[in-house]
Structure 1
Amino acid sequence: MLSFKDIPCYYLKLRWAEMLSRDFYNKRMKDCGITGRQFTLLFIIKYNGGSSLSELGDMMNLDRSTINRSIQPLLKKGLLEDRKAEGQRNSSIWLTERGEEVFDESSKSWNKAQEDFAKLYTKEELEKFDSTLELLKRLEDD
């Protein structure tokens, strides 16, 4: 198996890191019936007291169409509802009662995933990881 050091392309390294982290969390969320991204969406909506698609996109750094595609399965499962008032242009996405239940149930798996992630690294490595992620913010300015 290739190592990150063997890959000369930074973009490919970032894509690979994203895939590894997504799979890590999705495996731990499998029994909940939602993905890591879906849990994060539920989290943001819950703690914002509802969100527009634009707010969700800004928080997750995703474009509006990707956010819209991401919430569709949650709307179909009855975990979210759009409380957009008639004539209102922007969606107002909220957790349903069932969405609250699924969020509460899946929080246990999410917290366990966070613990599992942290156990893979020393405290110093996690601090370095956070510092590296801060450095990646430079990509926004370019």
Structure 2
Amino acid sequence: MMKDDFQIAAIPDICLGMNSRLASRTTTKVLGRLLEPLGLDPTQFPIMVMLHLHPGMVVSALSISLDIEASGISRNIQTLERKGLVISSGGRGRKGKQLTLSPTGLKVFKQAVRCWNEAQQMLIAELGEKEVNEARQMMRNVSVAAQRLLATMDKGG
């Protein structure tokens, strides 16, 4: 047995990255089950949220605001376009094509928001409102701290 095995064994319990990814995946699965009857994937919901809030966004802006690679955004946009939920107009490529929800997309989005709200209420019922609010704040704090660290690392510090 290695000297550091006791520390390695603790990683699944103490690692912020592993635990945040696990929480993200499992909460996303809850939303996914509720969105399934609408033919939506949980990765498409945040895109639809942003297009509802900011009609005319381009892929590069969506990529930055959601912190998802542009190729992933593009694949999801193509799927949403095929389903008739998103309309693209204007220029070409990631920086020029302006994206909006179609009238059908807006109807489906409103149903998806109800699914999202149901998922939120289910998690609140399971955890308690105080714990959910504390978890949200803690996740924001961890994200901001990691962003500060990345900025420092990018500067070579």
Shorter-chain TM-score tier:
0.7 to 0.9
Unaligned runs of 5+ in 1: none
Which digits, 9 at most, give the CA deviation of each residue in 1:41-75, with x for residues without a partner?
11210121221112211221112112112222101
- C-alpha separation between the residues in 1 aligned to 2:92 and 2:43? 29
Given residue 55 of structure 1, which amino acid in structure 2 is its aligned partner? A
> Which of 1 and 2 has higher RCO (CA within 8 Å, sep 6+)?
1
Match of 2:146 in 1: 139
1:18-97 to 2 correspondences below 5 Å = 18-85=24-91, 90-97=96-103
Unaligned runs of 5+ in 2: 1-9, 150-157
Instruction: Compare the two structures and name the one with the higher helix fraction.
Output: 2
CA contact (8 A) 2:13 2:19 kept: yes
Deviation at 1:87, TM superposition (A): 10
- C-alpha separation between the residues in 2 aligned to 1:49 and 1:9? 38
Structure 1 window deviating more from structure 2 (88-97 vs 14-23): it is: 88-97
Deviation at 1:5, TM superposition (A): 8.1
The structure having more radius of gyration, on CA atoms, is 2
Query: Across the two proteins, how many residue pairs are aligned to each other?
Result: 139
Q: Report the identity percentage.
A: 20
* TM, length-normalised to structure 2: 0.76
* TM, length-normalised to structure 1: 0.83
CA RMSD of aligned residues (A): 2.5
